[in-house]
Structure 1
Amino acid sequence: MGKRAGAPRQDLAAMLAPLMRELLAAEQSVLAKHGLTMWGYAVLSTLDRSAFRTQAALAEAINADKTRIIRTLDDLQDDGYIERHPDPDDRRVRLLAITDKGRDVKDAVQDEIQRGEERWLGELTQEERRVFLRALARMAPG
Structure 2
Amino acid sequence: MVPEITSTPCDDAARVCGALDADLGWALGVVFRSYLKVTNAVLADVPGGPRGYQVLASAAGGRPGTQLALAQQLGVDRTVMTYLLDDLERAGLVERRPDPTDRRARRIAVTGHGEEILARLTERLRQAEEHLLGSLDDPDRATFRTILQRLATRIDDLDPTPDACTVAREITETPTPPRRVSA
TM bin (shorter chain): 0.7 to 0.9
Aligned-partner residue type, residue 92 of structure 1: R
SS at match of 1:50: coil
SS at match of 1:53: coil
Percent identity (aligned): 34
**Residues 46 and 61, structure 1, Cα contact 8 Å, conserved in 2:** no
Q: Which residue of 1 aligns with 2:16?
A: none
**Residues 51 and 97, structure 1, Cα contact 8 Å, conserved in 2:** no
Aligned-partner residue type, residue 46 of structure 2: G
Q: What are the within-5 Å matches in structure 2 for residues 64-75 of structure 1? A: 64-75=76-87
Give a deviation string over 1:75-94, Cα, whole Å, max 9, x none. 11112111111223332211
Q: Which residue of 1 aligns with 2:146?
A: 134
- Matching of residue 35 in structure 1 with residue 46 in structure 2: yes
Higher Rg? 2
Q: Which residue of 2 aligns with 1:3?
A: none
- Matching of residue 122 in structure 1 with residue 139 in structure 2: no
CA shift, 1:48, in A, is 1.7
Output the TM-score relative to the length of structure 1: 0.83
Aligned-partner residue type, residue 56 of structure 1: L
SS at match of 2:56: helix
**Residues 53 and 95, structure 1, Cα contact 8 Å, conserved in 2:** yes
CA shift, 1:98, in A, is 1.2
Q: Tell me the distance in 2 between the aligned counterparts of 1:117 and 1:103.
A: 20
CA shift, 1:52, in A, is 6.4
**Residues 97 and 107, structure 2, Cα contact 8 Å, conserved in 1:** yes
Q: Tell me the distance in 2 between the aligned counterparts of 1:18 and 1:104.
A: 32
SS at match of 1:112: helix
The alignment covers a number of residue pairs equal to: 133
Q: Tell me the distance in 2 between the aligned counterparts of 1:17 and 1:97.
A: 34
Q: Which residue of 1 aligns with 2:7?
A: none
Q: Which residue of 2 aligns with 1:113?
A: 125
**Residues 46 and 52, structure 2, Cα contact 8 Å, conserved in 1:** no
Q: What are the within-5 Å matches in structure 2 for residues 1-142 of structure 1? A: 9-10=22-23, 12-32=24-44, 34-36=45-47, 37-51=49-63, 53-141=65-153, 142=165
Give a deviation string over 1:34-89, Cα, whole Å, max 9, x none. 33322211100111222461111000011001111111101111121111112233
CA shift, 1:15, in A, is 1.2
Q: Tell me the distance in 2 between the aligned counterparts of 1:28 and 1:81.
A: 18
**Residues 30 and 113, structure 1, Cα contact 8 Å, conserved in 2:** yes
Q: Tell me the distance in 2 between the aligned counterparts of 1:91 and 1:46.
A: 22
